[in-house]
Chains A and B, each alone.
Chain A
């Protein structure tokens, strides 16, 4: 019941891969020729094949991040020919197929580069800064067991659909890698917009945006200067319109939080 390899035209490419043994050592590009490449092979499957070859050579296999291989877990994270997640539109690295390349191509493969994403090894980076931002406020506080009937809170289809557009973010960090400022604004905007569009998210809306933005700044991400490279490479096509929404929420929350602190001190221990 195992399929035989179909008769597609095979070709050769060269992978020029960033190798770095650990965070403290300098890295460099190394070339690896790859032959008998099928157009139906995924880019990561090609890395698997190259690694099987390296395993039985004196050199170590290339470390690269991957897991679901269907574009939803957000683990894979290469920059391919200068573009995070490679040549496709609206896909992650694991959804890049070799039919996107030509025979004889030199394919340059690097890790996502950003101060807030230090390199662990080869193509693998540390992206826990995103988790810290979530922990600061990326949630609706709903204790288990305290929820009302799900249809007790109506959500307009338009709001739910727009929230879903934002919630599709897979937390891969391509937006950061593509940005010349290594800004995480698209990531934070997606989360803030998703939760802020839902009626359930209103009570914590101000607190959420202030805490998430502050944590983002502290983690070493840069600011947004409206180049929109982020949305151009986003594997889920999340639009930079959400950044405008984030800015509106942030400014409003700042304004309201000041009012609140004034009134608290004026009111005295209620």
Chain B
């Protein structure tokens, strides 16, 4: 049984973080340079952590599988970042952001973590502005805001539709500065393939150079994983093609617990699938729901008609109808399931019947086309490139797609996993979003973890480690891990199979979407738990990986990642099957209110499920961390 101590500090909610910071151990400035920290991943969380730790004086090694840290998938976030600045004077506060995020997560996150996130949200905006992030401005020169789902205030800061890009470039510039100054040793094109544990502590990683195939061992005093989410288990998602779970999955196999893997976010506004060759689903930012109105025809018979020929009275603006107080800005899980229900009723639009309209006609009438172009022009352009349709003239067609994973490696309040010395940041951990993440909160959490949490909390661990005790990479633990990586590579390349990796990935994706997607049932999940192990067996026997280990070999990279997705997909289904309730992004059809809303079971499932690896072929162990709500009441989430 893993020991899961959340280490939540005592005291009033609003004081916990401040008090904790004054109570945890510090490493003195002269000693910091004696500690070496490995940071894997260079998105918002990884870059900001690596830069800030190097500024503090630690020696940092940064590993990223991309050719440059600037390519990490944080770059694709469009809409914005939340910050409880209350610059709009609309009643926002740290407490309100805390409450919205906790409620948005359907009361499945820790109160203390979420409150800290809301507290540091204001520092993040300050930090990014100081770095020169070109946030949108009013004519007065002040920062502009917009609204996002699940909130009744305007607290989202943005840089056109490229907020993630601009925040990542800010963090990347901070990282580049420290690389230039020698504080960070940067290893691009380097994929972490194993975690090395020495005497129960994470003390290193095994890395493959993707261009040369050379496998190297790296030791450190602590290891940070900031490697993003695992939504590509579904094959089709809004993730980048290379986004993968390998780093966190290999850490899981070394003993780190995987928490709530079934919590996945399906984003309501993506461009619908067009064909079997499809490699990627493209998001249309949630910010569009500020001005766009979502509808389907009232009558099934109208679904194939030109939308402009359908009279106003024959349209069903279903989000406005069902959720009058939040309307088109209902949270993502709620909006996605509503779209699915409309399509299930046969009222979906487009060639496949799997789509709903997102209509800007009213906004264009109200604001004029130039104002709409100014706000969303790049998104309309993206839509046009992909569909060859002009959304200024006809409504967009959208459909939900896999977008984010709230689950991830279990961490305590200090962001340390149950393996001492292994820290997990950003989307790779499970910590702040509960069962559903609100819009504009992913960027906030990635930067909170990297800029403002880990720089403090890692000191508490390092102060208890002698720097001279750093492991030698000739130790048997490093040798064994490096050898197991080489063996795995060789096995894949020598396999006498006949099918490309992509075929297995597509099949896994279909199983996951069908049985562990927007709506799940006991029977469906049991079916998936039969199908996935069978698919894995087939993969092992029949995957064909061409080429050699000594050069750039993208098939080999993909094979390793898909192998891990097969294992992780099974764990997700297992987690979804065990969680006999509906909450946030996890919707079990058996557990719903008559109006189709999520029916939680706080008594039985008001906890975090943290799965612990028990060896190949063994069922994993389900550990439980109870969620204690001291300051808020776990209530039924309502957006009506």
Residues of chain A touching chain B, judged by Cβ–Cβ distance below 8 Å, are 1-6, 21-22, 38, 40-42, 44-46, 48-49, 51-52, 54-56, 60-61, 63, 65-75, 88, 90-91, 95, 97, 99, 120-121, 124, 126-128, 130-131, 134-151, 153-157, 160-161, 163-164, 167-168, 170-171, 194-195, 198, 200-201
Contacts and interface: CB of A to CB of B under 8 A. Distances in A.
B73 A6 contact: no
A154 B498 contact: no
A70 B280 contact: yes
9 contacts: A1-B514, A68-B75, A70-B283, A139-B131, A140-B173, A142-B130, A161-B137, A164-B160, A171-B70
B324 interface: no
A142 B136 CA distance: 20
B233 to A, nearest CB: 15
A268 to B, nearest CB: 28
B75 A73 contact: yes
B551 A21 contact: yes
Tell me whether chain A's interface is mostly helix, strand or loop, or mixed.
Answer: loop
A138 B174 CA distance: 9
A177 to B, nearest CB: 15
B631 interface: no
Contacts of A135: 176-177, 179-180
Contact of B68 (A2, A70, A127): A127
A-B pairs, top 6 by smallest CB distance, nearest first, are A154-B141, A147-B130, A139-B173, A135-B180, A150-B129, A3-B352
Contact of A151 (B142, B211, B455): B142
B140 A148 contact: no
B482 interface: no
Contacts of B514: 1-2
Contacts, number: 247
B138 A167 contact: no
Given A56-B500, A168-B162, A147 B70 contact: no
Contact of A201 (B85, B132, B381, B502): B132
A68 B240 contact: yes
B517 A65 contact: no
Contacts of A41: 275, 277
A42 B277 CA distance: 9
B563 interface: no
B204 interface: no
B141 A150 contact: no
Given A73-B76, A151-B143, 7 more contacts: A3-B273, A5-B275, A42-B279, A66-B241, A131-B186, A139-B176, A156-B141
A150 B87 CA distance: 10
B137 A160 contact: yes
A155 B188 CA distance: 35
Given A61-B546, A69-B240, A146-B130, A6 B75 contact: no
Contact of A74 (B70, B382, B555): B70
Nearest to A166: B134
A126 B166 CA distance: 23
B494 interface: no
Nearest to A151: B142
B552 interface: yes
A131 B134 contact: no
A40 B134 contact: no
A121 B282 CA distance: 28
A238 to B, nearest CB: 13
